[in-house]
Amino acid sequence: MKIAVCIKQVVTREWPLRINETGVWVRDGDASFEMNEPDAYALEEALRLKEQHGGEVVVCSAGPARVSQVIREGLARGADRAIHVHSDQLAVADAHTTSAALADALESESFELVLTGLQSDDQGFGQTGVLLAERLGISHATIIMEITSSDGQIRVKRELEGGWFQWVSMPTPALLTIQSGINQLRYATLKGIMAAKKKEIRTVTPDVKVEDEHRLVELYAPERGKQTQFIDGSPEVAARELVRSLREDARVF
């Protein structure tokens, strides 16, 4: 089974948020980076499928030279080779542009499965995988919690709202967006880190124009504040008002 896994490099979640001069993105020049968490689960699932059925796992990442960090991490965890879609402009591109660049790099190879994380930890739109499937002309399913494969078919378990799940059978090639928590992540061993240095990384320049379909207007840190509301009246009246306020104002249930 030949599997491609799209991974993204994102700013580390523990890094203190600093807005850049334009006011629409973070100051990533002095930030630390890590692999997008949902993509790490997608990579782990691909490695498990390879262990069960054999084949090859190829990691693919789009962005500037610094994304080689997560590419090497993916190779150290067990991927066989990598594709780096190199472009400085893809560091903050939207799903429309990113999916076009990834499709340009992947369509020349015949992958049976393409896995992505459900969404990214930075922009979090959850659209890159869906748009990539459309550009590659293959079927797709989202929010995947389990994958089984046999006789050229895959059967996937999708997470729905309200605690419900849906099983879907579909042909390959296919693209799946993986939900976090689908498996237990493995970490790179010293042997894996050393082996990663010898694995192939193919660098390609995307033949697409960066024309984002959406525009960030303003980026800012959430404002912290406290507000106290007093509820008067008898216990019965106060209880009804408290329940109403929690449901309609605070929306906690």
In a domain, 134, yes or no: yes
pLDDT at residue 226 is higher than 80: no
pLDDT of residue 63: 92
Q: Which strands sit side by side in the sheet containing 201-204, from one edge to the other?
A: 165-171, 153-159, 139-150, 174-178, 113-117, 2-6, 56-63, 81-86, 201-204
Terminal C-alpha separation, the chain? 45
Q: Is residue 196 part of a domain?
A: yes
Which are the contacts of 162, defined by CB distance < 8 A and separation ≥ 6? Answer: none
CATH number of the domain that residue 173 is part of: 3.40.50.620
**CA dist 94 to 100, 118, 122, 127, Å?**
10, 15, 11, 9
* Residue 214, domain member (yes or no): no
Residue 238 falls inside a structural domain: no
Model confidence at 210, pLDDT cuts 50, 70, 90, reads low
pLDDT value of position 204:
92
> pTM, whole model, 2 decimals?
0.83
- Report whether pLDDT(252) > 80: no
User: Lowest-confidence range among 2-6, 111-115, 191-195, 209-213?
Assistant: 209-213
Model confidence at 138: pLDDT above 70: yes
Q: Which pLDDT band holds residue 52 (cuts at 50, 70, 90)? A: very high
Q: Does 86 map to a domain?
A: yes
Torsion of CA 152, 187, 181, 74, to 10 degrees: -50
pLDDT for 217? 83
Q: Which of 89-98, 115-124, 127-136, 165-174 has the lowest mean pLDDT?
A: 89-98
Number of domains in the chain: 1
- Report whether pLDDT(55) > 70: yes
Which of the two residues, 105 and 162, has the higher pLDDT score?
A: 105
Query: Which carries the bigger pLDDT value, residue 163 or residue 17?
Result: 163
Query: What pLDDT is attached to residue 211?
Result: 72
Let me know if residue 251 belongs to a domain.
no
At 64-120, the pLDDT tens digits run: 999 999 999 999 999 999 999 999 888 888 899 999 999 999 998 989 999 999 999
A 10 A CB-CB count for 40 gives: 24
Domain residue limits at 67: 2-204
219 domain-assigned: no
**Would you place residue 229 in the very low, low, confident or very high pLDDT band (cuts 50, 70, 90)?**
confident
Q: Report the share of the chain in percent with pLDDT over 90.
A: 59
C-alpha to C-alpha distance for 58 and 39, rounded to whole angstroms: 13
Q: Is residue 242 part of a domain?
A: no
- The rounded mean pLDDT for the chain is 90
